[in-house]
Amino acid sequence: MEIVWQTPAHPAQKQDFIFHNGKRHVRPYYFEFVSHVNKRWEGKTIVDLFAQEFRGRSRDYYESAVKCGRIQVDGENVPVSYIVKRCQKISHFLHRHEPPVMAWDVDILQNEPDVLTVCKPASVPVHPCGQYRKNTVLGILQAEYGLAPLYPIHRLDRLVSGLLIMAKNPAKADIFRQHIEAGLLQKQYVAKVAGVFPEGEQVVDANVDYNAREGRSTAEVGISNGDTTLKGKAACTKFTRISTDGTHSIVLCEPITGRTHQIRVHLQFTGHPIANDMLYLSDNVVDRSTLGTTADRAAALSGSSPETSCENHNEEYKYCSEDFIIDPMCTHCPSLAPNGYDGHEEGLWLHCVRYSGPEWVYECPYPDWASVS
């Protein structure tokens, strides 16, 4: 069988997806990853480069990949002792496995000549990132509706659901960008939090410091002086309780700024974190750089051997060769999901409901969980 190597230019298609046990899987496919030698890589052997910079696979794998042409330099096969030079093109040909997402639809809310709005399901990233390429909002819209290119004008984290606004052309995207930079946007989210949230408007004005290594933010208050410096960025969020049942509260969240995990960490700061947010329900969270097997950490853990990985995988992620091609060099096969994926895909109780700007408003229906009386 002749292998067809895909690149980012290849569009997602309907037949790329497999639906199983409430999850949307991507049929594994052959993909060419391309990078260029930078100053830090220059002078290393091709195997040392991969073993040191891309630790998700073993050194033995990289040696085999170079020998059989799965790793090339400037489109040519090279020996394992080859020393790379600045700006050379490095190609790594892989059998790519994407993590599954929940099989909820990406519902189209408004389809205008220049703007598309959708209700993004939780667990689905907006655009290609990390291990996700086709299992994204942009990939699904392209595969199921032929809608491309699209230009998202704001962010929603992978585990957050709700309103997502996309421009259909660069000119409209630029108009939205100007509104954002001028501070003309108003944003509203709804969250389900632990405990009885106070009545009346609550304003949290606390810096947000995001730690990329841990994958979480902290809220900081105080005044910077000669002895102490606040590391985070200025952030402000307004909160208003909508309802409560004595155990949980539904809260309207209006972020004035847009920092990473701002709403989540500011709700934790109030003493009322999102009720299913395991990252912020406690201050004592284990460093995710050393522990954690969610899809977000799968890439860091994918260096385990195929044999060990398959023993630990749930049977629902194993498929026969009729479902997809088993690649003999792939460190994920015969599993459908990538190594390290633990199958847990619960979305956060945080949902974007409204964005407004100069003479425009877009809204999204409330989720089912936002009903507490």
Would you name the residues annotated as active-site residues? 157
Whole-Å CA distances, 337 to 81, 245, 287, 342, 354: 33, 39, 24, 9, 34
Which letter does DSSP use for residue 15 in this model? Answer: G
Burial profile 22-44: b = 16 or more Cβ within 10 angstroms, e = fewer: ebbbbbbbebbeeeebeeebeeb
Instruction: Answer yes or no: are the C-beta atoms of 234 and 364 closer than 8 Å.
Output: no
Backbone region of residue 145 per phi and psi (left: phi > 0; alpha: psi in -120 to 50; beta: other values):
alpha
- Can you count the helices (H) and strands (E) in the chain? 7, 18
In this structure, the strands spanning 236-244 and 248-255 are: antiparallel
Distance (Å, whole) CA 112 – CA 80: 54
Q: DSSP of 66-87, one letter per residue?
A: HHTTSEEETTB---TTPBP-TT
Please work out, in degrees rounded to the nearest 5, the angle formed at the alpha carbon of residue 47 by the alpha carbons of 94 and 84. 100
Are 104 and 118 spatial neighbours (Cβ–Cβ below 8 Å)?
no
Contacts of 148 (CB under 8 A, 6+ apart): 11, 138, 141, 142
Cβ atoms 160, 348 nearer than 8 A? yes
CA dist., res. 37 & res. 39, Å (int): 7
